[in-house]
Structure 1
Amino acid sequence: MGRRPQGYVYQRRSDGRWVAEITIKGQRHYEYAATEDDAYALLAELRRLALSPAATPPRDQTLTVAAFAEQWLASASLSPSTEEHYREMLRRHVLPKIGATPLDQVKPQDIAQVIAAGKAKGPRIAEKAYVVSHRLFQVATEWGIIGDNPAARLSRPKVEAAPRIVWTREEVAAFTDAMLADPGQWGDLFVVVLYTGLRTSEALGLDWGDIRLAHRSLTVQRGLIELQGRRFVTRETKSRASRRSVSLPDQAIQALLHRGGFSGPVFRYEDGRPPSRSALRSALVWASKRAGVPYIGMHGLRHQHCTMLAWAGVPIKVAQERMGHSSPLITLSIYMHVLPEDHLLASELLDRLFEAG
């Protein structure tokens, strides 16, 4: 006698719907419900159908790429922003090409078509479409649904990184002076990010209870993440690297004192709303013009901070912990930027090393 099908019920984080899922003869079948009770009722019906010899399966037993993608994302432990990114890439660039194809019939040439379509929209789209496809089929392989990953037989599309703009010391000073003299709506936020290296989500997640001005430090405990439709979700910091204490230089303290309030979230509009990505971008574009410096973006301020740490001679391990990186290699390879004057300094130091006498 075969094993009695059990199944289980869970709630999707993406939209809050409840899912009743059961495996029958190696194939997963699932139904959706608005409430947990309804999902359990559906699961009971799925079990009854599975045990009935005359009953037909509740769904086509051919598991398509689109159906598996939904199963994967509904059960995966992903951050809200990562899940949203995966869903968007799948919806726009992957599933239109191979969504209706049975999962076990996808060939490397099918993935190649997805990549080719992405290249027509830009090299970055092609790379992201490949990454999401590779992950999806890798999970299907790990779950034992398919024998191997068809995307693994293709090379990841290469994307030439655009040169990142890095401010000179004079430009950092000009921007800082302009923001501290007249912060406007978000100039104090820009200065805090520039002098602490916080991620934008970490800065927006700050509460005054996280800041100890008397001790010149703040603690990163959470991030406020913007999803599509200007929806925001709070995510508690889980990794050891991201959960950290950051010391505050004078410039950051001045910016925080300007913000005032000292209770509740730090960076909000007067009505309590957090600023959106587009609002911060517009404000930073204007602030950069006012200070007479190139626009480098919110993430560019974080990059700039790590470069400033290098200028100050901060040890790489300290810089890594301050930035919240999981590895010093990330700090070195991504965030440490070299300016022309740094090469001149290297020559000067060598000259001093070999000076006679």
Structure 2
Amino acid sequence: MDLREIKRSDIQELIVPLAAQTSAMTLAVIKSIFREAMAQALIENSPAHGVKGKTISVAPRRFLTWAQIERSEFGPLKEHIHFLALHGLRWSEAVALDKEDIRDGRIYINKSIHGQTKSRAAIRTVPLVSKFVKFPKTPKPLRRVLDPYQVQIHSLRHTYAYLLKSSGVHVTTAQRLLGHSDPKMTLAIYTQVLDHEIDDSGIALRRWIERAQER
């Protein structure tokens, strides 16, 4: 089909059946194609202009803070749990790591146990901040030690995201470190608020008021 024949309704019909994240990624590619076509004067207007994908919603996920992880007993898998929580890797990425992937104080993530990474965005580099350990070829042992804490392996990525947020890392940098294709996914995690943060905000506000009154 000629690009000039594609209508807005064709694009909407294509993305409607897709899952929210797939819809957003597909629409981003389509818009990129039409932007390039306009730049090369192949078309005058983009039929993708103004088309919106589905809203990506991320349900609040229970996760352990770093302080909770340090206090917890994970037995022989302690270093594995720490590694995931401090680097934000998916289990499928961590299990595929070799020593050759770790150099110059960085972890180079370019594959998974399935071969390719989840997406192009998942190909990334993250700073190495803890000891590298080889992971078991099955996630079952990790699931067993995490189960009493009512969290999943993937929840450790939320621990990492919370560490980044608490350290003042910008959300766009966090997106790259987490390997998210869509910044909305990172933002949804970043906007999760723990109970103590609400209390902390009250303390900070009261201190600000006290300082203002002293002036």
TM-score (norm 2): 0.64
Aligned length: 198
1:286 aligns with one of 121, 144, 149: 144
Q: Report the Cα offset of residue 315 of structure 1.
A: 4.2
2:108 aligns with one of 222, 236, 240: 222
For residues 209 and 122 of structure 1, what CA distance do their matches in structure 2 show?
33
Once the two structures are superposed, what CA deviation does each residue of 1:114-161 show, in whole Å capped at 9, x if it has no partner?
A: 133x2xx54444434423332333344444443432212x42123141
Q: Which position in structure 1 is the counterpart of 2:28? A: 131
2:94 aligned with 1:210: no
Unaligned 5+ segments in structure 2 are 118-122
TM-score (norm 1): 0.43
Partner SS state of residue 193, structure 1 = helix
Q: CA RMSD in A?
A: 4.2
For residues 224 and 168 of structure 1, what CA distance do their matches in structure 2 show?
27
Q: Which position in structure 2 is the counterpart of 1:301? A: 156
For residues 149 and 139 of structure 1, what CA distance do their matches in structure 2 show?
10
1:182 aligns with one of 64, 69, 76: 76
Partner SS state of residue 222, structure 1 = strand
Q: Report the Cα offset of residue 166 of structure 1.
A: 4.1
- The answer on whether the counterparts of 1:197 and 1:301 sit within 8 Å (CA) in structure 2 is yes
For residues 65 and 14 of structure 2, what CA distance do their matches in structure 1 show?
44
Q: Which position in structure 2 is the counterpart of 1:343? A: 198
For residues 194 and 334 of structure 1, what CA distance do their matches in structure 2 show?
18
- Residues 225 and 139 of structure 1, relative CA distance in 2, 3 Å threshold: farther
Q: Which position in structure 1 is the counterpart of 2:129? A: 247
Q: Report the Cα offset of residue 188 of structure 1.
A: 3.7
Matching residue's letter, 2:157: R
| Structure that is richer in strand per residue | 1
Once the two structures are superposed, what CA deviation does each residue of 1:321-348 show, in whole Å capped at 9, x if it has no partner?
A: 8x748xxxx7x94553320121012223
Matching residue's letter, 2:144: W
1:165 aligns with one of 35, 54, 61: 61
- The answer on whether the counterparts of 2:90 and 2:157 sit within 8 Å (CA) in structure 1 is yes
Once the two structures are superposed, what CA deviation does each residue of 1:223-254 show, in whole Å capped at 9, x if it has no partner?
A: 23238xx3348xxxxx9xx5564433xxxx4x
For residues 206 and 68 of structure 2, what CA distance do their matches in structure 1 show?
28
2:71 aligned with 1:196: no
For residues 97 and 153 of structure 2, what CA distance do their matches in structure 1 show?
22
- Residues 302 and 122 of structure 1, relative CA distance in 2, 3 Å threshold: closer
Greater Cα radius of gyration, structure 1 or 2: 1
- Residues 346 and 140 of structure 1, relative CA distance in 2, 3 Å threshold: same
Unaligned 5+ segments in structure 1 are 1-100, 212-217, 234-238, 260-266, 270-274
Matching residue's letter, 1:191: H
- The answer on whether the counterparts of 1:197 and 1:302 sit within 8 Å (CA) in structure 2 is yes
Give the 5 Å matches for 1:305-344. Answer: 305-311=160-166, 314-316=167-169, 320=173, 324=177, 333=187, 335-336=189-190, 337-344=192-199
- Residues 351 and 168 of structure 1, relative CA distance in 2, 3 Å threshold: farther
Q: Which position in structure 2 is the counterpart of 1:15? A: none
Structure with more relative contact order (C-alpha pairs < 8 Å, separation 6 or more): 2
Partner SS state of residue 114, structure 1 = helix
